[in-house]
Structure 1
Amino acid sequence: MADINEARATFDRFDADGDGQVTPDEFKHAMAEMGDPYVTGPVAEAVIKAKDTDQNGTMSFDEFWQALQG
């Protein structure tokens, strides 16, 4: 099980505008900053879609936390 404080810090790195939602573009940009330039737009969209349980096109912290538990 992940530590919620570490998870929040990681989520905040992805949530560039601080609105509480990670978009595919934010995910792609954060991954590139962390050294993974191979995350393309379609890959980022697929990752967000896989974790987006309310199907609003973004990933909230709750959705991120839930994905870490599985």
Structure 2
Amino acid sequence: MADIEAAKRAFDRYDLDKDGQITAAEYKKVMAELGDFYTTESVAQAVINADDTDGDGQLSWDEFWAKLQG
């Protein structure tokens, strides 16, 4: 089981505008800040879509946490 506090910090790192959702643009920007300049917005969207259970094209905290739970 993932540590919820560490998971919340990780989620908050990607949720740049603090609206409770991670967008492809936010994901791409953080990945670039972490040194991964190869993540395009379309790749970021594909990563998000893999765990986006409500189909809104964004990753919510609940979706993020569910992914970590396996």
Report the counterpart of residue 41 of structure 1 in structure 2.
Answer: 41
Structure 1: gaps (5+ residues): none
Question: Alignment partner of 1:51: what SS?
Answer: coil
In the TM superposition, what is the alpha-carbon distance from 1:42 to its structure 2 partner?
1.2
Structure 1 residue ranges (4+ consecutive) displaced by more than 4 angstroms after TM superposition: none
The reply to whether residue 2 of structure 1 matches residue 2 of structure 2 is yes
In the TM superposition, what is the alpha-carbon distance from 1:2 to its structure 2 partner?
1.1
Structure 2: gaps (5+ residues): none
Q: Distance in 2 between matches of 1:37 and 1:65?
A: 26
TM (norm. structure 1) is: 0.95
Aligned residues: 70
Q: CA RMSD in A?
A: 0.7
In the TM superposition, what whole-angstrom CA distance separates every residue of 1:8-53 from its partner, at most 9, and x where no partner exists? 0000010000000000000010111112111111110100111110
The reply to whether residue 24 of structure 1 matches residue 7 of structure 2 is no
